[in-house]
Amino acid sequence: MASGGGSVDRGVDFANYFCTYAFLYHQKEMLSDRVRMDAYYNAIFKNQDHFRGKTVLDVGTGSGILAIWSAQAGARRVYAVEATKMSEHARELVKANGLEDIVEVIESSMEDVILPEKVDVIISEWMGYFLFRESMFDSVICARDRWLKPTGVMYPSHARMWIAPVRSGLVDKKTEDYESAMDDWHNFVNDTKAYYGVDMGALTKPFCDEQKKYYLQTSQWCSLHPEQVIGTPAVIKEIDCLTTSIDDILKVRAQFSSSITVETARFSGFGGWFDVQFRGSTSDPARCVIELTTAPSTVDLTHWGQQVFFLRPAPRVCQGDLVSASFSMERSKMNHRLMEVEFAYGIKDCPPVTSKWYIE
Amino acid sequence: MASGGGSVDRGVDFANYFCTYAFLYHQKEMLSDRVRMDAYYNAIFKNQDHFRGKTVLDVGTGSGILAIWSAQAGARRVYAVEATKMSEHARELVKANGLEDIVEVIESSMEDVILPEKVDVIISEWMGYFLFRESMFDSVICARDRWLKPTGVMYPSHARMWIAPVRSGLVDKKTEDYESAMDDWHNFVNDTKAYYGVDMGALTKPFCDEQKKYYLQTSQWCSLHPEQVIGTPAVIKEIDCLTTSIDDILKVRAQFSSSITVETARFSGFGGWFDVQFRGSTSDPARCVIELTTAPSTVDLTHWGQQVFFLRPAPRVCQGDLVSASFSMERSKMNHRLMEVEFAYGIKDCPPVTSKWYIE
């Protein structure tokens, strides 16, 4: 299995991951993300020549929306692959929209599916938080290597990860919550000793580690206002969906720098987001290039939001200060769909600080 | 494996179930439940003759508290079995309390463990919501049948399930939440048709089913005030932990009746709770019988609370009205640790109504 993280028990992976996607409520959340929907809708209908008379594979079709649009845009045949029972709803929806002669919904993991032919287009909405959470792009790579014609195009065709210094009051809230959890713990240890004669003190260190991980070392989903971005954003990873291999995305490493653009602020953390582009391919470029961005915005909010990695302490910075950092991201050893991130960052001439976060 | 629900993939079961117990935060919640702690503490220390010089097996020791108390009460040897990594913390705690020569922490599922000897006492805090959720008593039965001496005692020794008619304003809130979710859905269907040319109407029925299950057909954790109980409580199941078999608990069926004890009220639902007793055994009774009850209370609140099965519609009842019902509970086919409950109930001379709920 192209898990990229060694062998993965499929039953466990299903229990941990796929099960969420079997709820219509969750599908509705994604289908109500107007930025996401508009981007895919426009990418398809403003580039209908990529679809008219063509064969299309939709990887992880969910409720089937991308497969249905592909068919409406003129595809000859659409294979819509979905690992969960959502496939049954997708099949209903295809039928209700009169497209059952064009769209074939297949309940299977992408890694197992056998198609009767290669396809002209692979379309997929595979992006997780900060692009790679969920590691679903692995399945898109698998689909591409097995089923895309040499002349085929990827929808989307490119993707980028971005990072910028941000400010946020949440950094204090997180610290307070952590401290309050530890205060509770100390009272609990005292009470347990006094009432029940057992010394729980030996667990203070592991409890502290657990709470620190939860409150301080786990990235936070945020919907940042653009004014919370206090430095120049940097691209830390760019992929061409047509050529990227699993090895290219297993670990993401980058050096970047950002200069502070506001007069003065507290540098609360690094904000991370992504964008994807629908450019077609070099030999068959899109007529109309569409971009889907999850950058901080006042109007174009997405369910992805941004991931914020809070700093402790959060230093004061001034306009023109240079933040230099090296970034690395790997998959969690315990669950290949979750990520572990490290920043080694320095501000102006201060010695660099290294911190680690989990994307859960 | 004594799962009682056919074959269970252990990795999946771990991902779905055991993983929660690997967090110290969760252990602390249970260790802070004063009613639970007092009951076990008193059961052990007021019946030290059951422990002094004896061998004890703690099934699912968690952080090790019951094993430690057993040792402090004079046990010669305590085997503390725990399936999760919490075993490492239990081992630390045992050592920090100077009991490493008496308590042996074993990381294993109960079904797999091999002990060097049979034991005099099996102690376990195995109770889930409404007693049987989590199906952990299966592991206690397995432990008992394999490792308890013929003269051994069970801690706790007995357990009972209770049901009573209750009133609660939450019944309206639930209905409103459901209706609001459906209103949202209808807007979503209209918007998706208007903006994106896809008719989602075919999914209205399954979405409605999903939301109905979530809001209306899933029992609700409540901490009921005793005055919310509007009828006489009935025992619907009683087990002797020393003799009960898996077959006895796989399905719970009961007929019961309750008479309304308040002048007038809305009969919002059935409230379910449990109690357990520490009575020792017939040949070796407890010196001091202790009871742990999760019944509605103003002072003795537990983390188990009560499970409420809300009725729709919630009928008006008056003092003296007789509610007759048949109850049945089975394990969910998808997850043997979750339950499905059915009530067929009639009030006075009205024809009976049958409804189904999930304990999730």
**ipTM of the shown complex:** 0.91
CA distance B154 to B140: 9
What distances in angstroms separate CA A304 from CA A34, A124, A275, one per listed residue? 12, 16, 11
The predicted pLDDT at position A111 comes to 94
pLDDT digits 0-9 by tens, A33-92: 999 999 999 999 999 999 999 999 999 999 999 999 999 999 999 999 999 999 999 999
Q: Do A207 and B24 touch (CB under 8 A)?
A: yes
Q: Which amino acid is at B301?
A: L
Question: B91: part of which helix (H) or strand (E)?
Answer: helix B86-96
pLDDT digits 0-9 by tens, B3-18: 444 467 877 887 777 7
Q: Do B198 and A68 touch (CB under 8 A)?
A: yes
- 3-class DSSP state of A94: helix
The predicted pLDDT at position B350 comes to 81
pLDDT digits 0-9 by tens, B80-98: 999 999 999 999 999 999 9
Mean pLDDT, rounded, of chain B: 95
The predicted pLDDT at position A16 comes to 78
A14 CB neighbours in chain B (<8 A) are 12
Q: Do B25 and A207 touch (CB under 8 A)?
A: yes
Task: Report which DSSP code applies to B8.
Answer: -
A198 CB neighbours in chain B (<8 A) are 65, 68-69, 72, 93, 97
Confidence check: pLDDT of A1 > 80: no
Paired with B165 in beta bridges are B270
**Which of B16, B92, B210 faces A24 most closely, judged by CB atoms?**
B210
Q: Do B92 and A202 touch (CB under 8 A)?
A: yes
pLDDT digits 0-9 by tens, A97-112: 999 999 999 999 999 9
Question: Residues of B at the A interface (Cβ-Cβ below 8 Å)?
Answer: 9, 11-12, 14-16, 23-25, 28, 31-32, 37, 41, 63, 65, 68-69, 72, 89, 92-93, 95-97, 181, 185, 188, 192, 195-203, 206-207, 210-211, 214
Are the C-beta atoms of residues B4 and A6 closer than 8 Å to each other?
no
Give the global pTM.
0.92
Written as one string, the DSSP assignment of A23-68 is -HHHHHHHHT-HHHHHHHHHHHHT-GGGTTT-EEEEET-TTSHHHH
**B145 token code pair:** 């049948």
